Structure 1
Amino acid sequence: MRRFLFLLALLFTLAHGGAADAHVRSESHSVWELNGGHVDLVMIIPALEAARLERGRSQPSDAALEAYLAQRVYPLADGRRCALVPPIQALSARAGYRRYDFTFACPTAKKMTIRSGAFFDLVPSHINYAQIQNARTGEFTEQLVTRDRQMLEVAGGEADRLKAAGFPDFVRMGVMHILTGVDHMSFLVGLVLISRRVKDLLFVITGFTLGHSLTLALAVTGVLRPQADHIDALVALTIALIGLENVAVQAQRPGAVAAAFAAALAAMVGLKLAGFGALPALLLLGAGLFGANYLLACGQVRDAARVRLAITVVFGLIHGFGFAAGLLDEPLPPQRLGELLFGFNVGVEMGQLALVGAVAGLAWALGRVRLAPPRPIVVDAAAAGLVGVGAFWFVTRAF
């Protein structure tokens, strides 16, 4: 029965982490075609988003929606805003959507940038999926536009730098993504702390690598792209779970810890149903079931190393989507995705091995000179810290 609940929870978490409540997610789509100094833009707006201009009471007129978009969505060339060439055309669209065509004339084709700032003033968590094609070179990229990233360089500057980058540059990007990501580093430190033997550490690192390699590739190639803020919250939850596992094992009360964890997530489900919080109720429910069963399993299995291998594969799946967010912030050259993915993944592995090696080496060195406090004290203190910081990040990201 416990295995069944565990699998059910896993399916809930993975299936609904990115897709649950997709019908109420705030999003829009844009298609940009660059042809020298001539730029054509097609904006696809769900009717739900358009109604936000009228506070949901009705649909705005074409003129009102066109004026709103024209002030917030446009290209720039060499730092100067491109001129809008009238008229804006309202195109036919499938039921539930509105579609508009904009044409812009830019004074130059150098250092082209696009700005997509629509709807962020109404819904801060809004996401725009931008497709960008250069008609002269045939290059095609897809980028995510968020409130904190409304400007995208599409020619010159960072865009050209990445196209000219070599394999070592991709590796360096992966290394820096690990060494500058505080949440990913916290999780890796937690893996070291719960591993009492080298074999245990090899199990968890292997599982984590398998998981994040898969979802990194799926996200960057566009096969799966869960909502970024959901993934950020789940990454924080994995950090708290690593700490809670130690608490459950050391206190020898896995049932109580699992019940407390499940109750906390159930309370968040209740708040979501009452209208508070950004995470979908099904995602919270799945995370609660999965986490509670994970804590029960690790607290009752005599050799938890093999259980952790399976669990860290799941954790790796979540972190892989988080790694992908760093790549999706770049104007990715589609013809070099394979090389970029391989190099970035190599860099991620180098970064995590360097971090794990440094932490393990420091612990060994302190032990050799007899300066290290007893391991149970260190692990318990670190576990408490992981629970605290993971829970804080999870709650703040959930609300």
Structure 2
Amino acid sequence: MSARKNTFPTALVWLAASLTAQAHDPGLSSLACRFEPGGLVAQLTLARSDVEALCRLDTDHDGRVTPAEFAAAASCLEAAAVDALEVRLDGRLLAPGKPTVQLDTSEAVHLQLLYPCRAGSRLAVRSVVLHSLPRGHRQFASLHQGQSSAAAEAMLDANHDTFDAALAQLPPAASTAFSQFLRLGVTHILTGYDHLLFLFALLVVARRFSSAVRIVTCFTLAHSITLAVATFDLVRIPSRLTEALIAATIVYVGLENLLRRDEPKGRGLLTFAFGLVHGFGFASVLRELGVASGGTGVAVPLFSFNLGVELGQIAVAAAFLPCWWMLKRRPALAPRLVPACSLLVTLAGSGWLVERLWPA
């Protein structure tokens, strides 16, 4: 009997540690190509954390990159930029000129290359750099004609690393962008274990269907607001602070579940307030892809990504709640279920909070 009692908390700690280890998004970047009079211009935009896999930037490990540190890494970045892409026009491999590298205020790194060429009929761009980035990294690729909005778009990864376009038959990109960002939104919420655990912590104490609907609605409204505000760069919060605050919201809800039990009052307002914080986390995805900073347009990516997030969280809630309520009807499980799950939530959130405040 004592062995069973010891096994249960051990399993909780193991689950919390597993969730903590999986809380990292594998990364997103963008590749924007456009034809100009001198040839094809390709611009790669990567988060600083992803660039660290290619060149060391933060040499003193203080969590920021100074102009001197970036200048010291310039030659490495230029070499990485040249090797990052393979560009073919009508089957002919193009050679790039000297790349330019830039670090913006959000510590995103921009690598720009010019491939001198004349007009052609088929363009193929292979993103070789994907094979040097963390497993699961995704890259949003777009093709523009001059300064116009995107004429073709695709989501790349290590298994599908080539962007191919018949230049004479480019389709309107709006429908393509909608489906790509819709899929990205669904994927982001389903692999965003911190966001899911926050939602889980809110739903485990919901006793009625109406309570669950109110929680999901408040969360949706709140993060939709800050997703739009942050994507348009009206408000900017450092990513490190945002991620730490998200972890803190998880710890708070887990502890409140443990201390107040049942269904704490004021959960709708609490969900809305904390949902604003999570919205900044969602916005980091679109910012990493260069939405609102380039010529891809904002309305379609913003709407479809947000819709994807909502569909994903509704699917999770619809699958989880019936099973959860069935378990809570069992007299042997009901008294322990919410405390045990809330303890798991608190442990996982605490692990993320420590990790994000004091990264290794």
TM-score (norm 2): 0.58
Structure 2 vs 1, CA of residues 305 and 167 (structure 1 numbering), >3 Å: closer, same or farther? farther
Alignment of 1:223-234 (within 5 A): 223-234=234-245
Structure 2 vs 1, CA of residues 154 and 322 (structure 1 numbering), >3 Å: closer, same or farther? farther
Output the amino acid matched with 2:232.
T
2:148 paired residue among 125, 135, 138: 138
Matches of 2:312 and 2:67, distance apart in 1: 44
Give the secondary-structure state (helix, strand or coil) at the position aligned to 2:237: coil
2:124 maps to: 111
2:265 maps to: 305
Percent of aligned positions that are identical: 29
1:389 maps to: 348
Q: Which runs of 5+ in 1 are unaligned?
A: 1-29, 54-58, 91-99, 118-131, 142-147, 251-301
Matches of 1:160 and 1:386, distance apart in 2: 46
Q: Deviations over 1:102-138 (max 9, x none)?
A: 7543697723467899xxxxxxxxxxxxxx9945352
Do the aligned partners of 2:221 and 2:272 also contact (CA within 8 Å) in 1?
yes
Matches of 1:200 and 1:383, distance apart in 2: 18
Matches of 2:176 and 2:35, distance apart in 1: 22
1:346 maps to: 307
Do the aligned partners of 2:94 and 2:115 also contact (CA within 8 Å) in 1?
yes
Matches of 2:162 and 2:147, distance apart in 1: 16
Structure 2 vs 1, CA of residues 336 and 188 (structure 1 numbering), >3 Å: closer, same or farther? same
Output the amino acid matched with 1:111.
A
Give the secondary-structure state (helix, strand or coil) at the position aligned to 1:174: helix
What is the aligned length?
278
2:280 maps to: 321
2:15 maps to: none
Q: Deviations over 1:63-106 (max 9, x none)?
A: x95x44432334541499853546x899xxxxxxxxx9975436
Matches of 1:160 and 1:391, distance apart in 2: 48
Alignment root-mean-square deviation, CA: 5.0
Q: Structure 1 residue 362: deviation in Å?
A: 1.0
Do the aligned partners of 1:363 and 1:372 also contact (CA within 8 Å) in 2?
no
Do the aligned partners of 2:194 and 2:247 also contact (CA within 8 Å) in 1?
yes
Structure 2 vs 1, CA of residues 104 and 69 (structure 1 numbering), >3 Å: closer, same or farther? farther
Q: Structure 1 residue 205: deviation in Å?
A: 2.3
Matches of 2:331 and 2:188, distance apart in 1: 30
2:205 maps to: 194
Q: Does 1:236 align with 2:266?
A: no
Q: Structure 1 residue 198: deviation in Å?
A: 4.1
Structure 2 vs 1, CA of residues 373 and 72 (structure 1 numbering), >3 Å: closer, same or farther? same
Give the secondary-structure state (helix, strand or coil) at the position aligned to 1:138: coil
TM-score (norm 1): 0.53
Matches of 2:32 and 2:178, distance apart in 1: 30
Q: Which runs of 5+ in 2 are unaligned?
A: 1-30, 45-56, 58-64, 102-110, 131-141, 152-156
2:320 paired residue among 339, 359, 363: 359
Matches of 1:216 and 1:203, distance apart in 2: 20
Matches of 1:110 and 1:37, distance apart in 2: 16
Do the aligned partners of 2:149 and 2:297 also contact (CA within 8 Å) in 1?
no
Matches of 2:69 and 2:164, distance apart in 1: 33
Output the amino acid matched with 1:73.
A
Q: Does 1:71 align with 2:72?
A: no
Matches of 1:138 and 1:305, distance apart in 2: 51
Higher RCO (Cα < 8 Å, 6 or more apart): 1
Q: Structure 1 residue 380: deviation in Å?
A: 0.3
